[in-house]
């Protein structure tokens, strides 16, 4: 795992090597083992390396092809590189080392940009073509690895993190109001948006090709083929088990030790079970309890799994510590406000592990592939909708319950794409958060549609049943933009490569093409995964309800963080620059402190927004 960065001047001017060095230096945390820089005329590439495969200098980057045509900087792991290496060897390709980077480079020599669709894994790649004088940027189909870019009239600047682009000194930090609007709904900007005007995310599965005269952005692969597989349940169950075991085995390939973040849930437990069978040595597993989880954790579940598979198990009991120090560190970690408080827990855990081992397997993505969330039990939602329709007329009109039932009924009668967006938002749809912004700021926010992304994807998959549409939409939006972003930043900040075998390319494509009835059965979620693991995991794990990290942000904002919240918001330039309405903000805080309304999610988003606005000296 690494950090990549670069700049290409379209007018042919020469690049200052100091700029390229500054950009690479900003990503040292992603690759503390080696820094490499390549500068030639109008092109500059930077790379910081976290050595995982082929620890020798032969795997250092930027790496040039033997014929001198291609130069690559690459962040990620291509898990089928062994298969590709054999194919290329049969075609006459020879290698200096055994890194996947070298295989990726030779694949591009052989197939050009068509090679990207052959790669199974996680990656962000920049390749310069010396013959064609053009640069190619590509990102994996799931968006596991990040890649940002700023494309102007004169240049393109890119990096694994936004800080690399800002380090170039060529881009001013200005608010992207569309990104802000989405952030206030979903804790993060969606799709190609970021919180910065002019800085974009390269979309998952997309290729950006650019030279002095043209720019071309297009998908090089579809996330999934949306046809349905007709395997019967028994065949599908066996196939899922075999594919999962193969995926986890492939994700263990490493020249450094590998461990597992073992939550005790089904996904991480399955990873531990298969990894312990195929790992050469005793597998390390890590579970965590926090002083703020109020005992709602899965430590006992994780202990069952660790004992069952004889792992070298470590339980960590971590404190929230000085949150007034940790939250600003997270801002610098993301370069943007990030409203998911679970990032606090993952950041603390990664800090405790501190790169020993360097590679960690995690269960993220399993809920979106196998249907692990309550919202996927769409049939139960429809029953509740009818119950509300029958019950609400019986509630007195002046009752608070009537207002609540009316709001819920409005929600259930909304278009499915909007309803799904509101579920993900977590906002109170009967009390829009926009009241806290000034009329001037609201006019800029209202120019964008925060539900557009959900609407586009939901409509794209209109030929699928409701469960499948939700799964595909989540895999395109919330998985790359929220969950994989959280995993990448918090782990890479501490020199850890996080791998997510639950979104193995082949397995995910197969599972997503299975009928919804195999994934959701009544109220039972992840049905086929549970069936596939019946002979592998104990019933205590398979039947245990989903828990996850419990981070009590609303409680903290009423207690230990109350003064910090108030001082940060009321001293912020957000007020001075006319973005927030002071009276509404005060009312919102008082409502929360007095327990009259839980505004914790909104206030945490505003806290992160204020910290980012100050830290990065953002212009509105």
Task: Express each pLDDT in 156-181 by its tens digit.
Answer: 999 999 999 999 999 999 999 999 99
Would you state the pLDDT for residue 341? 92
Would you state the pLDDT for residue 109? 97
Q: Which span out of 229-243, 395-409, 428-442 was modeled with the highest average pLDDT?
A: 229-243
CATH topology (fold) of 224-435+449-547: Rossmann fold (3.40.50)
Would you state the pLDDT for residue 421? 74
Give Cβ neighbours of residue 471 (< 8 Å, ≥ 6 apart). Answer: 368, 369, 371, 376, 512, 519
Give the number of other Cβ atoms within 10 Å of residue 412's Cβ. Answer: 14
* Coil vs helix vs strand at 293: coil
Would you state the pLDDT for residue 318? 76
Beta strands in 280-427 (DSSP E): 284-290, 312-318, 359-361
Q: Which of 178-187, 222-231, 300-309, 360-369 has the lowest mean pLDDT?
A: 222-231
pLDDT at 428 over 80: no
pLDDT at 581 over 80: yes
pLDDT at 526 over 50: yes
Residues 488-517 as b/e (b if ≥16 CB within 10 A, e otherwise) read bbbbbbbbbbbbbbbbbbebbbbbbbbbbe
Give Cβ neighbours of residue 436 (< 8 Å, ≥ 6 apart). Answer: 580, 581, 584, 585, 588, 602, 606
pLDDT tens digit sequence for 355-364: 889 999 999 9
Would you state the pLDDT for residue 402? 43
Would you state the pLDDT for residue 141? 96
Give the number of other Cβ atoms within 10 Å of residue 309's Cβ. Answer: 22
Would you state the pLDDT for residue 56? 94
Confidence (pTM): 0.93
Percent with pLDDT over 90 in the chain: 77
- Whole-angstrom Cα distance, residue 485 to residue 412? 30
Tell me the CATH number for domain 2-219: 3.60.20.10
Please tell me what DSSP assigns to residue 113.
G
Instruction: Tell me which residue of 450, 445, 423, 422 sits closest to 434, measured CA to CA.
Output: 445
Confidence bin at 369 (pLDDT 50/70/90): very high
pLDDT at 422 over 80: no
Q: How many residues does the chain have?
A: 620
Would you state the pLDDT for residue 272? 98
Summary mean pLDDT of the chain: 91
Residues of the chain with CATH 3.40.50.620: 224-435+449-547
Task: Give mean pLDDT, residues 462-478.
Answer: 90
Give the number of other Cβ atoms within 10 Å of residue 485's Cβ. Answer: 23
Would you state the pLDDT for residue 433? 72
Confidence bin at 407 (pLDDT 50/70/90): very low
pLDDT at 381 over 60: no
Confidence bin at 81 (pLDDT 50/70/90): very high
pLDDT at 403 over 70: no
pLDDT at 380 over 60: no
Element of type H or E holding 73 = strand 70-78
φ/ψ of residue 122, rounded to 5: -125, 135
Instruction: Tell me which residue of 121, 114, 104 sits closest to 62, measured CA to CA.
Output: 104
CA distances from 220 to 70, 118, 156, 223 (A): 19, 10, 20, 10
Task: Give mean pLDDT, residues 222-238.
Answer: 87
The whole-angstrom distance between residue 103's C-alpha and the CA centroid of its chain comes to 26
Q: Which of 57-61, 107-111, 298-302 has the lowest mean pLDDT?
A: 298-302
CA distances from 564 to 327, 331, 420, 557, 617 (A): 11, 15, 34, 9, 20
Instruction: Tell me which residue of 267, 268, 321 sits closest to 290, measured CA to CA.
Output: 321
Confidence bin at 316 (pLDDT 50/70/90): confident
Give Cβ neighbours of residue 448 (< 8 Å, ≥ 6 apart). Answer: 177, 178, 181, 182
Q: Before 62, cis peptide (omega within 30)?
A: yes
Give Cβ neighbours of residue 79 (< 8 Å, ≥ 6 apart). Answer: 120, 121, 250, 251, 253, 504
Residues of the chain with CATH 3.60.20.10: 2-219
Q: For strand 70-78 and strand 121-129, is the pairing parallel, antiparallel, or unpaired?
A: antiparallel
CB contact at 8 A, 558 and 321: no
- Whole-angstrom Cα distance, residue 477 to residue 469? 12
CA distances from 510 to 142, 506, 515 (A): 15, 6, 10
pLDDT at 37 over 70: yes
Task: Give mean pLDDT, residues 60-78.
Answer: 97
- Whole-angstrom Cα distance, residue 63 to residue 4? 12
CB contact at 8 A, 26 and 171: no
Task: Give mean pLDDT, residues 534-547.
Answer: 88
Task: Give mean pLDDT, residues 420-449.
Answer: 78
- Whole-angstrom Cα distance, residue 12 to residue 42? 5
pLDDT at 394 over 60: no
Instruction: Tell how many helices (H) and how many strands (E) occur in the chain.
Output: 28, 17
pLDDT at 390 over 80: no
Would you state the pLDDT for residue 547? 67
Give Cβ neighbours of residue 137 (< 8 Å, ≥ 6 apart). Answer: 124, 125, 126, 147, 149, 158, 202, 207, 208, 209, 210
Q: What angle do CA 69, 74, 76 make, to 5 degrees?
A: 145
Q: What is the CA radius of gyration of the chain?
A: 24
For residues 386, 389, 390, 392, the Cα torsion angle rounded to the nearest 10 degrees is 140
Element of type H or E holding 367 = helix 366-370
């Amino acid at each position: 795992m690494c950090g990549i960065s670069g700049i290409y001047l379209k007018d042919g001017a020469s690049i200052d090597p100091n700029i390229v060095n500054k950009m690479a230096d900003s990503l040292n945390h992603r690759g503390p083992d080696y820094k490499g820089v390549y500068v030639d005329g109008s092109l500059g590439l930077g790379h910081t390396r976290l050595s995982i495969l082929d620890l020798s200098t032969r795997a250092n980057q930027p790496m040039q092809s033997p014929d001198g045509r291609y130069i690559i900087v690459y962040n990620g792991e291509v898990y089928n590189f062994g298969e590709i290496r054999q194919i290329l060897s049969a075609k006459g390709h020879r290698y200096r080392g055994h890194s996947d980077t070298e295989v990726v480079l030779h694949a591009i020599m052989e197939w050009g940009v068509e090679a990207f669709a052959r790669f199974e894994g996680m990656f962000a790649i920049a390749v310069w073509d010396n013959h064609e004088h053009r640069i190619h940027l590509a990102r994996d189909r799931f968006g596991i690895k990040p890649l940002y870019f700023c494309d102007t009239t004169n240049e393109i600047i890119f990096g694994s993190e936004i800080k690399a682009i800002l380090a170039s000194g060529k881009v001013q930090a200005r608010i992207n109001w569309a990104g802000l609007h989405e952030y206030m709904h979903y804790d993060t900007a969606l799709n190609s948006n970021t919180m910065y005007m002019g800085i974009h995310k390269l979309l998952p599965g997309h290729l950006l090709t650019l030279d002095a005269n043209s720019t071309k952005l297009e998908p090089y692969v579809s996330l999934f083929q949306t046809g349905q597989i007709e395997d019967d349940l028994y065949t599908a169950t066996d196939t899922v088990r075999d594919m999962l075991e193969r995926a986890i085995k492939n994700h263990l390939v490493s020249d450094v030790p590998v461990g597992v973040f073992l939550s005790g849930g089904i996904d991480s437990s399955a990873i531990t079970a298969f990894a312990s069978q195929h790992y050469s040595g005793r597998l390390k597993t890590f579970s965590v309890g926090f002083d703020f989880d109020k005992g709602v954790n899965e430590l006992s579940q994780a202990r069952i799994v660790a004992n069952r598979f004889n792992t070298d198990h470590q339980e960590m009991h971590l404190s929230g510590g000085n949150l007034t120090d940790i939250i600003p560190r997270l801002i610098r970690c993301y370069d943007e406000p990030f409203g998911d408080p679970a990032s606090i827990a993952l950041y603390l855990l990664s800090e405790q592990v501190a790169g020993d081992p360097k590679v960690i397997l995690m269960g993220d993505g399993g809920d979106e592939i196998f249907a692990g969330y309550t919202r996927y039990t769409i049939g139960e939602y429809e029953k509740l909708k009818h119950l509300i329709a029958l019950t609400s007329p019986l509630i007195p009109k002046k009752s608070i319950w009537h207002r609540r039932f009316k709001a819920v009924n409005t929600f259930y009668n909304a278009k499915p794409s909007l309803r799904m967006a509101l579920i993900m938002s977590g906002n109170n749809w009967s009390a829009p958060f926009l009241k806290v912004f000034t009329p001037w700021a609201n006019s800029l926010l209202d120019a964008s549609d925060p539900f557009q992304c959900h609407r586009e994807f939901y409509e794209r998959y209109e030929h699928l049943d409701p469960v499948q549409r939700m799964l595909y939409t989540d895999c395109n939006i919330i998985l790359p933009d929220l969950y994989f972003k959280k995993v990448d930043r918090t782990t890479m900040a501490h020199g850890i490569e996080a791998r997510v075998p639950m979104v193995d390319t082949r397995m995910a494509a197969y599972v997503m093409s299975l009928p919804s009835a195999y994934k959701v059965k009544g109220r039972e979620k992840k049905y086929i995964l549970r069936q596939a693991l019946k002979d592998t995991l104990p019933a205590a794990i398979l039947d245990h309800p989903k828990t996850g990290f419990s981070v009590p942000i609303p409680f903290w904002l009423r207690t230990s963080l109350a003064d910090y919240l108030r001082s940060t918001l009321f001293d912020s330039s957000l007020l001075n620059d006319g973005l927030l309405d002071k009276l509404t903000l005060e009312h919102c805080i008082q409502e929360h402190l007095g327990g009259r309304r839980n505004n914790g999610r909104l206030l945490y988003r505003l806290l992160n927004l204020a910290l980012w606005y100050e830290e990065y000296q953002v212009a509105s």
